[in-house]
Amino acid sequence: MYSEKVMEHFSSPRNVGQISDPDGVGQVGNPVCGDIMRLSIKVEDGKIVDVKFMTFGCGAAIATSSMITEMVKGRTLDEALQISNRAVADALDGLPPAKMHCSNLAADALHKAIQDYYERSGKSADAENRRTTAG
Amino acid sequence: MDYAATTPVAPEVLEAMAPYMTEHFGNPSSIHSFGREAKQTLEKARETIATLLEARPEEIVFTSGGSESSNLAIKGCAEAYSRKGRHIITTSVEHHASLDAVKHLSKNGFEATYLPVDRDGLVDLNALKNALRDDTILVSVIHANNEVGTIQPVKEIVEIAHEKGALVHVDSVQVVGSLPVSVRDLDIDLMSMSAHKFYGPKGMGGLYVKRGVRILPLIHGGPHEKKLRAGTQNVAGAVGMAKALELAVERMGDEVPRLTGLRDKMIEEITSRIDHVRLNGHRIKRLPNNVNVSVEYVEGEAMLLNLDLKGIAVSSGSACSSGSLEPSHVLMAMGIPHEIAHGSLRFTLGRSTTEADVEYVVSSLADIVAKLREMSPLYPSGPCKCKD
């Protein structure tokens, strides 16, 4: 059912945990559905320098969480916002159709974390972009 | 530890079956000697099974398995008695073979009542009494639940139903071959059984039809099985099922206490070594080999996969582990909250399960739960209090 890549990420998930003083936190899902993901990020100079995840969910949920943290570390916020659920699923060599919603959760949690960062720091997305391209 | 799903064919069973697939391969309906020999063999198998269940040979119909038996019982009975009434009673914790058959009938001119169950999965006998009407023709109930192991009060259910003139079908797929069953003593009208649950071959089952009870066939096409189920009979399969049942009954006296002991040890170990864990299903009125637990703060499929990586096979009632993305309807019917249902696992022990196996599985589970709780946003902060 699951690809080798999914099983790999599932058995040895990367970046598990919570950042102690995060710059942004995004949580999606709910226990009734059986899926919850929480992503916390550390941002420096418009780049995600650290990211950790906590997930309650199935094999696909854990694998997509792990994969997205790998994909996002070191990226700019803008690049991170471009990461789609499709990209996460592809990076894992695909997910069974019934499990695609797990990849949605991962992308949504990331976007929410970035959104949270902007809200906390009082900056807007545009201002941030201008700063990074100029600097 | 997934023997409720299926069992391997016992060596003695395989040996008994083999000649009927090779040298003695006759069709029991053929008039020549090869056919007559096959017919004799088939009837001997039928007699063996009937005797072990305290039934008459002519009351056993051979089918392709439990699902077919339940469909034949429910749909066959409904059609046969549709002029007498169109109301069917069943429970909310049936196996899908029964549930879906009843749902199908309810869309085709019949009315169905689904009896609720309590927190342990037991049917309320008063609810049954209240649900029975003059036009109720059939009550269909699962003898012992395949997911949580709860055993229903079949004798009482039959008494209550008969008083109101309704027939009773019992889905005994998880009971025949595991616990003693006497159709005479329970006074059942229809009963499903399946060979691959008790070390017999897959694709082979039976339906007990009490003398005098009418059912219409699902499969037309010949006079086979007293016109109740057309098709060339699986002689090898029937021989296998008979041998498997014989062996199972022979060993039951020792096996039931042995499995019960292992089951109880496993329940004790799991609940003492892992925090925030609960047993699903009735503690006492329970199949001897069934351990169904809900582990809080972690998800079922994730545990299942981790156990699989350690060579341990189990099943789960979580939404993610079902094809439909819905959690187990049995757990839902028992009033178990979604979050708890998502963390459920079913362990079912078998003939080859040892104490060492139980120890290995429980240790593995404790490790896995600790690891998954470390990454769970739901687990109350602090390390998992799982003991080694």
Q: Is A106 at the interface with chain B, CB within 8 A? A: no
The per-residue b/e assignment along B239-260, b for 16 or more CB within 10 angstroms, e otherwise, is bbbbbbbbbbbeeeeebbebbe
pLDDT in tens, B273-305: 999 999 999 999 999 999 999 999 999 999 999
Taking CA atoms, what residue in A is nearest to B375? Answer: A54
The pLDDT of residue A21 is 93
pLDDT in tens, B148-185: 999 999 999 999 999 999 999 999 999 999 999 999 99
pTM, 2 dp:
0.93
pLDDT in tens, B46-104: 999 999 999 999 999 999 999 999 999 999 999 999 999 999 999 999 999 999 999 99
Q: Which residues are CB-neighbours of B291 under 8 A, at least 6 positions away?
A: B149, B263, B266, B267, B270, B279, B346, B347, B348, B349
The pLDDT of residue B25 is 97
Residues of A in contact with B378 (CB under 8 A): 31, 36, 56
Residues of A in contact with B374 (CB under 8 A): 16-17
Q: Is B297 at the interface with chain A, CB within 8 A? A: yes
**Best of B294, B297, B305 to mutate (most A CBs within 10 Å, chain A):** B305
Out of A98-107, B116-125, B347-356, B371-380, pick the least confident: A98-107
Q: Minimal Cα–Cα distance from A128 to chain B, Å?
A: 30
Which positions of A are annotated as active-site residues?
33, 102
Q: Where are the domains of chain B?
A: 11-248, 252-374
State whether A98 and B297 contact (CB < 8 Å). no
Q: Is A22 at the interface with chain B, CB within 8 A? A: no
Q: Minimal Cα–Cα distance from A59 to chain B, Å?
A: 5
The pLDDT of residue B385 is 47
Which of B302, B309, B377 faces A58 most closely, judged by CB atoms? B302
Higher pLDDT, A33 or B355: B355
Measure the CA–CA gap between B62 and B69, rounded to whole angstroms. 8
* Residues A37 and A54 sit within 8 Å (Cβ to Cβ): yes
The pLDDT of residue A123 is 66
Show the 3-state SS of chain A. CCCHHHHHHHHCCCCECCCCCCCEEEEEEECCCCEEEEEEEEEECCEEEEEEEEEECCHHHHHHHHHHHHHHCCCEHHHHHHCCHHHHHHHCCCCCHHHHHHHHHHHHHHHHHHHHHHHHHCCCHHHHHHHHHHC
The pLDDT of residue A124 is 56
Domain B11-248 identical in fold to domain B252-374? no
Total number of residues shown for chain B? 388
pLDDT in tens, B100-156: 999 999 999 999 999 999 999 999 999 999 999 999 999 999 999 999 999 999 999
The dihedral sign for the CA sequence B155, B189, B149, B352: positive
State whether B376 and A56 contact (CB < 8 Å). yes
Higher pLDDT, A33 or B369: B369
List domains and CATH numbers for chain A: 4-134 (3.90.1010.10)
State whether B339 and A36 contact (CB < 8 Å). no
State whether A55 and B375 contact (CB < 8 Å). yes
* Residues B84 and B137 sit within 8 Å (Cβ to Cβ): yes
Q: Is A117 at the interface with chain B, CB within 8 A? A: no
**Best of A8, A19, A56 to mutate (most B CBs within 10 Å, chain B):** A56
State whether A98 and B323 contact (CB < 8 Å). yes
Q: Could you tell me the pLDDT band of residue A1, with boundaries at 50, 70 and 90?
A: confident
Q: Is B198 strand, coil or helix? A: coil
Q: Minimal Cα–Cα distance from A23 to chain B, Å?
A: 18
State whether A55 and B374 contact (CB < 8 Å). no
User: Which helix or strand (DSSP H or E) is residue B368 part of?
Assistant: helix B355-374
Q: Is B309 at the interface with chain A, CB within 8 A? A: yes
Q: Could you tell me the pLDDT band of residue A33, with boundaries at 50, 70 and 90?
A: confident
In chain A, pLDDT over 90 holds for what percent of residues? 74
Q: Could you tell me the pLDDT band of residue B198, with boundaries at 50, 70 and 90?
A: very high
Taking CA atoms, what residue in B is nearest to A27? Answer: B377
Measure the CA–CA gap between B242 and B328, rounded to whole angstroms. 33
Instruction: Tell me the average pLDDT of chain B.
Output: 96
B311: pLDDT strictly greater than 50 = yes
Which of B323, B327, B375 faces A54 most closely, judged by CB atoms? B375
pLDDT in tens, A79-133: 999 999 999 999 999 999 888 888 888 999 999 999 999 999 886 555 555 554 4
Q: Is A97 at the interface with chain B, CB within 8 A? A: no
Residues 118-177 of B with CB under 8 A from A: none
The dihedral sign for the CA sequence B233, B239, B244, B247: positive
Taking CA atoms, what residue in B is nearest to A102? Answer: B320
State whether B302 and A13 contact (CB < 8 Å). no
Taking CA atoms, what residue in A is nearest to B369? Answer: A56
Reported CATH class of domain B11-248: alpha beta
Total number of residues shown for chain A? 135
The pLDDT of residue B321 is 78
Measure the CA–CA gap between B231 and B218, rounded to whole angstroms. 11
A134: pLDDT strictly greater than 50 = no
Q: Minimal Cα–Cα distance from B96 to chain A, Å?
A: 21
State whether A57 and B338 contact (CB < 8 Å). no
B342: pLDDT strictly greater than 80 = yes
**Rounded (10°) angle between helices B300-309 and A4-11:** 100
Q: Minimal Cα–Cα distance from A49 to chain B, Å?
A: 20
Reported CATH class of domain B252-374: alpha beta
